[in-house]
A and B are shown apart, each in its own frame.
Chain A
Amino acid sequence: MDPHTIAIVSGLGAAGVAAASMLAVAARWRALAHTPALDCAGRRGGIDGFWVDTGRYRMYCRTHPGPADAADRLPVVLVHGLVISSRYMTPLAAVLGRELRVYAPDLPGFGESAIVSGSRRERGRALSIPELADALHGWMRACGIGRAAFVGNSFGCQVLAEFAARFPAEVACVVLQGITTDPRARHLPLLAWRDFVNGRREAPRSPAAPGRIDYAKAGLARAFATMRVLVRDRIEYRLPRVSAPALVVAGTRDPVAPADWAADAARRLRDGRLLVMPGGTHTLNYTYPHAFAFAILPFLLAHTRRTGDRHDAPVAARQPEAVR
């Protein structure tokens, strides 16, 4: 065989392998995008799920009913981070569910939740932080939740800061863990590097597996567009507008939201305090859910007693028709 033929055969072979690999990746990606909302571990932990239509959005929510006397207290709402969905909140929801009723909605465009009105282009674009806060507010109204405690992780803290600043009556208290974005790291490559380091520190408990599912569900275009939203947001200017009692939780091994930035964030809040978890990383809700819940439960329990205010009416009395 002459060299020219060998080159052609090698090239075709390499192209074939590349094409087969891409097809395999695409098939895997597609399979991930069709992963069911609830897995066996979640169901074993008492987690269920429901959809609600809020008009522009059709939102999915994982929920734990809590103990028998859960109606005596306000519920707690868990708000997920960047691109990922409330799927990775399941371990924390299962633990908090021993004390409180828990809701963990997927924000529109992520996980199981979708933007259902508007043009195709409109439905595909990434929502801004104020829009995500509005969506959360709409979801609460659709569910009949007047007031709640909130726990956010990472990008979820940015959404919660906006939400708490604009809808103070709905917020009994807020826990901000792994708060982004550190003003010294307002660059996507630097944040990506910090996230990579965090992933290595969190192994083998890393939320990478549910993360892959949620990236496939959200799509890469929305993922990158939302990353830009995260980087551009100046949460440090919004924090002073939050009046609800706030607990900022920092892990000493969290490279994405280092403890000194978290301390700065806590100082900027009107009623903020800092809780440092030695050894903690960025996604405590997934990697160390029992230790994280143990650390924040006293704060949550102190602020979830019902006061008789109109916002505090038990959720069960005003539960909307949920679509299972």
Chain B
Amino acid sequence: MSRPPRGIARFDSAAGMVQALSASLRGERYASPSQSPTLDRLMPAISWLPTRPREWAYSIGGMTEGIGARRAQRLDIEKIGEWLVSQYPDRPYPAVFVGSSNGALMHLAAAMSTPWLPQTFLCPVRAPFSDPDDAQRGFDVGRRIADAFLATDERIAVHQMQDPNQDRLMLAAMRYFRLKCRVLPLAYREFLLKQLPPGGTLYVNVCTRSWPVTRTSERSVFQFGATGGATEDEYLEGGPRVRDLLSRYRSRWDRWHPPEPNDVAPEAEWGFDGSLADDLATLARARNWRVVELRYREPEALSFATAAICRQWYRDAGIEPTRVVVDSFLLMEPLTTMRLHALPFWLLFGVEPSADALQCFLDTEGPFDAIDLMLFSHGTESIGLATIERWRALLARATRDGRFAGVDERRYPRDFATFARFGRALARREPQAAPPPPLAPSRFEALLREHGPGYGVSCTERTRVACDFQ
């Protein structure tokens, strides 16, 4: 496994998820999103720093993942695509997933032993000493950078994203640009043509989550806020929770003043840009691939469906799952989850709506003997963040053993060393055994058609109809 090239952040959901899945396909554990043993050794020391220096370390560490603004005009998405496909073992696959990022999907793909090619990846651009709450300045400065990205490659759409609620530490040192492939990068095309034989299945993962945006060109938008703990109205209109957040962080603002939204676009991180569909359909027709679309609105909807499918997959192998492993954002370990014969349940973030989703899952699918919970730390007491007490209460729903996996409860949500601990912590759980045989695509589709509609997830074969992923 190699470090990603410049232009894609290691803390990006797509980069993390590809590494987690590819490790599983290689029969390895995913234990280090940083891919740096040195950084992983430093993490515990950083944890011992006082709060403010720890936050600075997080911001500066994040900033080192970014590129300079001038480098935006030289971004090479093929290098990024090349790195992403190079993570997977070089062998034919009966099916390949393409499209929206989703942690639950990684478990499905791992169970099927198939790769996933992300449509969206994060390219952070360094911007030290920025005010995360100054939406207008973020928009004005970001627009020039977005134009530079657009000029490098006509195959991408640029979604600038500014979320001062959940990304405020990072936004003090960088700007977020999520790049969506509207056409397959050549590296993806080569991978598909080489590894997916005629008759294979192309699963298109379509998350229809959208967000109000300010459109700056046909291929670029500015998105203020993001899916998580705060509502769209709070980002755009303010409110008591916003005032409280800004006051706690001693901001000079009492609400945010983003540019007026004039359009609705696929959500920057999770949403699917339908422009990719034409390219996929053309390629699929020529290669005689089946195209099957997975469609849902809320990213966590797929978590419910995935757990139901995995439960049946274990039962097919004569295993009754009594354990659940709860992922958080990019903290996930598909291989160990399968070895524990545990149901995976992926949460978008450590926020109240995600905690509600877990509670709903435990209410309807529980009880479980054991629950293992990872918690991603983003360093901010953000609006809608679920408290550690709420997570403890959810863990207490386990009948035998409910534990955090690699979480320092005292330091959450500034427990940055969890990135280096979660994999090892999960690997120590017992008992572990060989995963069941890979889930066959036909069985997967049958199970998804059976369990998906109950959670708002549809599964439609698109081979002989015009593709419409909008």
Q: Which residues of A contact B (CB under 8 A)?
A: 201, 204-205, 253, 277-280, 288-291, 294
6 smallest CB-CB distances across A and B, nearest first, come from A279-B186, A290-B193, A288-B190, A290-B194, A291-B190, A279-B78
- 24 A–B contacts, CB within 8 A, in A order: A201-B78, A201-B79, A204-B86, A253-B76, A253-B78, A277-B186, A278-B153, A278-B186, A279-B77, A279-B78, A279-B153, A279-B155, A279-B185, A279-B186, A279-B187, A288-B186, A288-B187, A288-B189, A289-B190, A290-B189, A291-B186, A291-B189, A294-B193, A294-B286
A103–B408 Cα distance when bound, in Å, is 64
Interface residues of B in 152-190 (CB under 8 A from A): 153-155, 183, 185-187, 189-190
Interface residues of B in 402-433 (CB under 8 A from A): none
B82 lies within 8 A of chain A by Cβ: yes
A277–B184 Cα distance when bound, in Å, is 11
Q: In this complex, which of B76, B78, B187, B286 has the most chain A Cβ atoms within 10 angstroms of its Cβ?
A: B78
**Contacting pair A278 B190 (CB below 8 A):** no
Picked from B76, B86, B155, B194, the residue with its CB within 8 Å of the CB of A278 is B155
**Contacting pair A278 B193 (CB below 8 A):** no
Which of chain B's residues have a CB closer than 8 A to the CB of A290? Answer: 189-190, 193-194
Which of chain A's residues have a CB closer than 8 A to the CB of B77? Answer: 279
**Contacting pair A205 B82 (CB below 8 A):** yes
Which of chain B's residues have a CB closer than 8 A to the CB of A204? Answer: 82, 86
In the complex, which range does the number of interface residues on chain B fall in? Answer: 10 to 19
Q: A155 to chain B: closest CB distance in Å?
A: 23
Chain B 6-27 interface 0/1 with A at a Cβ cutoff of 8 Å (1 = within): 0000000000000000000000
Which of chain A's residues have a CB closer than 8 A to the CB of B183? Answer: 278
A118–B82 Cα distance when bound, in Å, is 48
Interface residues of B in 82-120 (CB under 8 A from A): 82, 86
Where chain B touches its partner, the secondary structure class is: helix
Q: A258 to chain B: closest CB distance in Å?
A: 15
A53–B227 Cα distance when bound, in Å, is 70
Q: Which residues of B contact A (CB under 8 A)?
A: 76-79, 81-82, 86, 153-155, 183, 185-187, 189-190, 193-194, 286
**Contacting pair A280 B186 (CB below 8 A):** yes
Q: In this complex, which of A205, A277, A278 has the most chain B Cβ atoms within 10 angstroms of its Cβ?
A: A278
Q: In this complex, which of A205, A289, A291, A294 has the most chain B Cβ atoms within 10 angstroms of its Cβ?
A: A291
Which of chain A's residues have a CB closer than 8 A to the CB of B190? Answer: 288-291
A278–B286 Cα distance when bound, in Å, is 18
Which of chain B's residues have a CB closer than 8 A to the CB of A289? Answer: 190
Residue of A nearest to B183 (CB): A278
Given A279-B185, A288-B190, 15 additional A-B pairs, CB 8 A: A201-B76, A201-B79, A253-B76, A278-B153, A279-B77, A279-B78, A279-B81, A279-B153, A279-B187, A288-B186, A288-B189, A289-B190, A291-B190, A291-B193, A294-B193
Residue of B nearest to A278 (CB): B155
A169–B154 Cα distance when bound, in Å, is 41
Residue of B nearest to A290 (CB): B193
A319–B439 Cα distance when bound, in Å, is 50
A290–B187 Cα distance when bound, in Å, is 10
A290–B286 Cα distance when bound, in Å, is 13
Which of chain A's residues have a CB closer than 8 A to the CB of B78? Answer: 201, 253, 279
A288–B193 Cα distance when bound, in Å, is 10
Residue of B nearest to A297 (CB): B286
A279–B187 Cα distance when bound, in Å, is 8
Which of chain A's residues have a CB closer than 8 A to the CB of B153? Answer: 278-279
A291–B81 Cα distance when bound, in Å, is 14
A305–B115 Cα distance when bound, in Å, is 38
Which of chain A's residues have a CB closer than 8 A to the CB of B186? Answer: 277-280, 288, 291
A291–B183 Cα distance when bound, in Å, is 14
A261–B193 Cα distance when bound, in Å, is 28
Q: In this complex, which of A201, A253, A279 has the most chain B Cβ atoms within 10 angstroms of its Cβ?
A: A279
Q: In this complex, which of B79, B82, B183, B186 has the most chain A Cβ atoms within 10 angstroms of its Cβ?
A: B186
A156–B76 Cα distance when bound, in Å, is 28
Residue of B nearest to A294 (CB): B193
Which of chain A's residues have a CB closer than 8 A to the CB of B185? Answer: 279
Which of chain A's residues have a CB closer than 8 A to the CB of B193? Answer: 290-291, 294
A78–B293 Cα distance when bound, in Å, is 39
Q: In this complex, which of A205, A277, A288 has the most chain B Cβ atoms within 10 angstroms of its Cβ?
A: A288
Q: B167 to chain A: closest CB distance in Å?
A: 30
Q: A320 to chain B: closest CB distance in Å?
A: 35
Q: B4 to chain A: closest CB distance in Å?
A: 13
A290–B195 Cα distance when bound, in Å, is 10
Q: A244 to chain B: closest CB distance in Å?
A: 25
A290–B76 Cα distance when bound, in Å, is 21
Residue of A nearest to B78 (CB): A279
Q: B88 to chain A: closest CB distance in Å?
A: 14
Q: A298 to chain B: closest CB distance in Å?
A: 9
A201–B76 Cα distance when bound, in Å, is 8
Q: A296 to chain B: closest CB distance in Å?
A: 13
A280–B189 Cα distance when bound, in Å, is 11
Q: A197 to chain B: closest CB distance in Å?
A: 11
A291–B154 Cα distance when bound, in Å, is 19
Q: B189 to chain A: closest CB distance in Å?
A: 5
Which of chain B's residues have a CB closer than 8 A to the CB of A253? Answer: 76, 78
